Amino acid sequence: MARSEIRVFAKNGFLAKGNVLPLDEMKLFVDMKEPKIAPERGQFVLSKAEGYMNLELKLMPLSLYRDRFLTGVRSRFEAAYNERRDTAFYLTLAEMYERQGKYIEKIADAVWAMLEETSWALPAHQDRSPTNPFSEIPESQDNDIIASLELQTSQTCATLATVRFLLGDELDKISPMICKRIDRLVYLRGVRPFVSGYYSWSGEHSVRVSNWCTNITSNILYAGALTVRDMEMRELLLAKAMHYLDNFTASYPEDGCCAEGPAYWGAAPGNLFDALEIIEDMTGGKITVYGEEIIRNMGNFVVDMNVDGDWYACFADSGSKLHHSGDVVERYGRKCGSPALEAFGHMNAVGAENCYYFYGMCYRILKNYHTPVVKEITKPKARTSVWMGGHQIAVFRESEDTSKGLFLATKGGTNSEPGNHNDVGCLVIFSNGKPVVVDPSIGTYDNEYFGRLRYERWYTNASYHSCPTFDGIDQECGRDGDPHASKNEVCDVDNKTVSMDISGAYPKDAGVISLVRTSHLEAGRITVTDEVKLDREREMEFHLTSHAEPKPLEEGRVELADGRVLSYNPELELVIEKIVNTKPFEDLNFKSKWDTDCLWRVCLKVRAKEYTCALTLE
């Protein structure tokens, strides 16, 4: 991956000192003239509020915390953990709108429950603790030791800061101790470790940056902006945030491509944009970097990866069906000067429910809550040919209308990317907005998925990402300094053709000397050609992962989804496999990911030392 090394704040000479507003002078949403809650959004939140009012907040005993260590299951602890935060945050939105005091007691219960937790770090992230890694007991975050700072700790800080900022006077009527404890714990568990420490997610010392950087930075910056009064600390907070955000933009390629895939756009470039808006608020508009080209390119990634509607070309740990918050996408496009991104966001912002999303992005949700509801849309035109050389991703379309014609996406890159799947050379093909050849997507995050069994799951392996195997040997993940990457990538955007040698993604015992994959889209037709040279004669097996059950026609032809017919070399032996979860830890939900009960795999076999496999879909 080519790093841009673009540090947007340092480049512009921005300093925190002298530019941060005092807490009492800071205004949220400084770019909005008179922010107010749209009635449709208020009513929507009220419709959800009764469910939270009737929800019994669960106890979280030590045995529940240890559940992940004993069984590998994260979900039971995290369900109880998230209920407390959702209850506090969304009832706060309801109380803001109604202002009748109806929800205050329940909000206070949820807040107090969070304040009583020994740690806000998830058990799944306990291994990141610098003082007590891999312990089955939560590490206290309230002592003189600088606590570890992980994702959910930052999100809890943001949740509590939001409640305190909006309803502090009402909570004080119950007891002033509530807000005092919020201020103290947000500082001890969030602001102080953020300002004082350096972390693996922060990009320091050339460590790879992930979405944790922007997610944690935006949440702690927001929480500190709403709770910290000391001006020196406010300036230190902003200075550290700008430094970490510079690490993030420097780690991205200039084309703005998100290696973690479009599902992580909201938590990576999207959270970067949240942080930029918070900085605009904290400085009264004195510090903004929206006009930087890399910021615009990072935004445009989500538009280019969209196939049609909620379908996306997914790579790595990305889902296939996604819905990004249209309000924030529209703001991003407007502020960074991208009409395409703004129009795409506007199209996805229809309806009041856009304010109701994941609690961990409190600033974004709160601003969406104060944004007028979109009721009428015009579908924007899509770019028909895009090359993102930073991660070697090509996107070709037959039409500017996303619901018409063929869509082809393919990637090179490496098998050592964040959220990695072994998918160098992967193919994604849609026809008239319907999936034909797919990347299988992901299952549930659990212990084993982030451990030794990750690549024993079928959906992480290249042969299920429409890549070949040789004597049954598949691609492998990067290790020991070898990223297992593509090379010699050439993209002709005008002719919608891309070629790359993906031989480097295979281990040495596969015997691959060269494997050049060339993909081309023309009117009504996609061709994919693999030119293979091996060290000796081996069993070659070429694959396509199909959304619909393949239907063999005459020799050398098979029908896939949407009436599209695949033609292949007739000497190849055709085998059709039904793809289902077969191992206990394989849990890909076909219904939610693909609106189907299973996927299918086309396998084309031949024994040779050198061979050219030519596939045509039309």
CB 382 within 8 A of CB 341: no
Instruction: Tell me the per-residue pLDDT of 580-610, one tens digit each, with 9 for 90 and over.
Output: 887 766 677 888 889 999 999 999 999 999 9
Is the Cβ–Cβ distance between 546 and 601 less than 8 Å? yes
Q: How confident is the model at residue 145 (pLDDT cuts 50, 70, 90)?
A: low
Tell me, what's the pLDDT at 71? 85
Indicate the DSSP class of residue 253.
-
Structural domains of the chain in order of their starting residue, each with its CATH number: 20-369 (1.50.10.100), 385-617 (2.70.98.70)
Q: What angle do CA 514, 517, 522 make, to 5 degrees?
A: 160
Cα gap 388→530, rounded to integer Å: 21
| Choice among 12-26, 110-124, 470-484 with the minimum mean pLDDT | 470-484
Mean pLDDT over residues 121-140, rounded? 73
Taking the chain, what is the end-to-end CA distance rounded to the nearest angstrom? Answer: 33
Which pLDDT value is given to residue 130? 57
Q: What is the pLDDT of residue 375?
A: 82
Say how many C-beta atoms besides its own lie within 10 A of residue 595's C-beta. Answer: 11
The rounded mean pLDDT for the chain is 92
Report which of 615, 455, 574, 570 is spatially closest to residue 463, judged by C-alpha positions: 455
How large is the average pLDDT for residues 143-167?
87
Report d(CA 503, CA 516) in Å as an integer. Answer: 8
pLDDT band at 232 (very low <50, low <70, confident <90, very high): very high
| pLDDT tens digits along 396-431 | 999 999 999 999 999 999 998 888 899 999 999 999
Tokens linked to 577: 């496999």
Query: Does position 386 have pLDDT exceeding 90, yes or no?
Result: yes
The pLDDT value recorded for residue 134 is 64
Measure the CA–CA gap between 558 and 227, rounded to whole angstroms. 63
Quick one: tokens of 548?
């619909």
What confidence tens digit (pLDDT) does each residue in 307-335 have? Answer: 999 999 999 888 899 988 899 999 999 99
- Give the model's pLDDT for residue 547: 97
pLDDT at position 429: 98
Which of 11-15, 344-348, 446-450, 504-508 bottoms out in mean pLDDT, i.e. has the lowest? Answer: 446-450
Residue 509 has phi, psi (to 5 degrees) of -75, -5
Q: What is the pLDDT of residue 169?
A: 97
Position 481 scores a pLDDT of 67
> Phi then psi for 518, rounded to 5 degrees?
-120, 125
pLDDT tens readout for residues 66-80: 998 888 888 899 999
pLDDT classification of 526: cutoffs 50, 70, 90: very high
Give one DSSP letter per residue of 360-381, joined into a string. Answer: T-HHHHHHHHTSPPB----PPP
Structure tokens at 228: 């910290």
CA angle 393, 398, 399 (to 5 degrees): 110
pLDDT at 133: 63
pLDDT average, residue stretch 241-258: 96
200 class by beta-carbon count within 10 Å (0-12 exposed, 13-18 middle, 19+ buried): middle
